[in-house]
Amino acid sequence: MSSAIAVLTLVGAMISAGPAAADSIRDKEYWLGEYGITKAWDASKGAGVKVAVIDSGIDGKHPDLKGAVVGGTDVSGAGDSKGEKPIGAKPEHGTLVTTMLAGRGHSTPTPSASASASPSATPSKPAVGNGLDGIIGVAPEAEILSVSTWLGSPNPGGPTDQEQIPAAVRWAVDHGAKVINISLGSTSPEWPQSWDAAFLYAEQKDVVVVAAAGNRQGGNVQVGAPATIPGVLTVAGLDRKRIASIDSSSQGISIGVAAPAEDLAGGMPGGQYAQWAGTSGAAPIVSGVAALIRSKYPDMSAKQVINRIISTAKDAGTPGKDPIYGYGILDAEAAVKATVPEVKTNRLGSIAEWIRVHRRGVLDTPSAQPSSVQAAPTPTLKDPKAPVAAAPSEIDATLPAAVVIGFAALILAILIGAGVHLWRAARRPIQGGANPGDGTDTSSIDVVKDSPKDS
């Protein structure tokens, strides 16, 4: 197995960016109504759940993220200590992802009311988020942990993806994340062994890990790591017609669910907005739904959360689970509200079991060794006597010498015979003319004349 990821990229493509009317950008969030998210808000908005976004850093000062980012770090050596400095090949990526996951929206200041205006004319606070303008996320009351990484180009800070990803996952788990969103991927289904322990740690600490499947347009024809890691909820992408996106979704057996990946809208650093596409945007939609579930059912295990999402998905493509839609198309309302039987295991697999089978071992912390040395058990068999080597026979000892002498005598006889032959040849007179070449030769050579050219 390869020990390195060949290409690690942020799996989203920005289509257009720049100043946009905040009130019009809200109208572009078609997934809120079409995928049951607004109806799911009747039961939960994600309050009390920390979601870690492992990405390119988040602009926590974006108007739609006011109060959303509650902590963070940088594992690249190139960002700031809070993980809020956009870095990497696509520095805007993390802010786009986060606004879709947990944006609060905002209220656009209006001209000062006249003195005669009635106090009742002041609009009331909306039921969801901080205002009617801007991006509202799937889990608008969830708390965000920003873990900035430098991916997609050589890291000036030093650490490689093999070092950054496990460090990011461990930090997120240690700081209370109940859901981790990873909107990045590679062109290889394999992952470095250095990632094993971190994803095992997340599994053991009961954290839901959501990853993007990758984009064909970006070179990811098949799902790449970390979306291939057992137990991770991998998200494929759909177009506006709820059909697998040709450009914005890879395929693979690890896909768990499909969500919107085209005609997306999100916030950009500096308070701007953009339309974009990619499974990078599909993943935070599903991560947001996971936060809604964990908020409504705080004692529910990660495997049950994942089971609710994939069990309530609407089947698409080949009946049953398939490598394009996984278990089907996301239904947020059903995932939050439906009655779903419990499962004993994560239906998407277990990294612990994978390590046991494929790495030939486990990565659990070894138990402490006893301080005193235990006495060796009493042997049950008598001490065996050491075997005694038999003396070599005289035939074995004399045979090699006889062989050598025999070959030497043979060679000497050949040399003597050759000498006698040459002595006799020297004494024989040359027959023929003056040219030695006309005389008798020991070899037979047929000289072939040039053949006539074809006419």
User: Does 290 score more than 50 pLDDT?
Assistant: yes
User: Does 439 score more than 60 pLDDT?
Assistant: no
Mean pLDDT of the chain, nearest integer: 81
- Residue 109 vs residues 103, 106, 113, 122: alpha-carbon distances, Å: 18, 9, 11, 11
pLDDT value for 411: 72
- Read off the pLDDT of each residue in 15-33 and give the average, rounded to a whole number: 76
pLDDT band of 221, cuts 50, 70, 90 = confident
Q: Which residue has the higher pLDDT, 25 or 384?
A: 25
φ, ψ (nearest 5 deg) of residue 91: -65, -20
pLDDT digits (tens, 9 = 90+) for 350-408: 999 999 999 986 554 444 444 433 444 444 434 344 444 444 444 444 445 555 566 66
- Read off the pLDDT of each residue in 183-196 and give the average, rounded to a whole number: 93
pLDDT digits (tens, 9 = 90+) for 52-77: 999 999 999 999 999 999 999 999 99
User: Does 200 score more than 50 pLDDT?
Assistant: yes
Say whether 27 is catalytic. Answer: no
pLDDT value for 186: 87
Catalytic-labelled residue, pool 44, 188, 245, 280: 280
Give the pTM: 0.76
pLDDT value for 451: 36
Choice among 35-39, 291-295, 451-455 with the minimum mean pLDDT: 451-455
pLDDT band of 119, cuts 50, 70, 90 = very low
pLDDT band of 29, cuts 50, 70, 90 = very high
pLDDT value for 388: 42
Choice among 170-174, 297-301, 405-409 with the minimum mean pLDDT: 405-409
Q: Strand 272-277 relative to strand 143-148: parallel, antiparallel, unpaired?
A: unpaired
Catalytic-labelled residue, pool 59, 74, 76, 93: 93
pLDDT value for 435: 35
Say whether 372 is catalytic. Answer: no
Catalytic-labelled residue, pool 55, 64, 133, 322: 55
φ, ψ (nearest 5 deg) of residue 200: -65, -40
Please tell me which of 213-217, 312-316, 410-414, 446-450 the model is most confident about, judged by mean pLDDT. Answer: 312-316
pLDDT value for 367: 41
Gap between the Cα atoms of 159 and 167, Å rounded = 10
Q: Tell me the percentage of the chain whose pLDDT exceeds 70.
A: 70
Say whether 62 is catalytic. Answer: no
Q: Which residue has the higher pLDDT, 322 or 122?
A: 322
pLDDT band of 109, cuts 50, 70, 90 = confident
User: Does 192 score more than 90 pLDDT?
Assistant: yes
pLDDT band of 9, cuts 50, 70, 90 = low
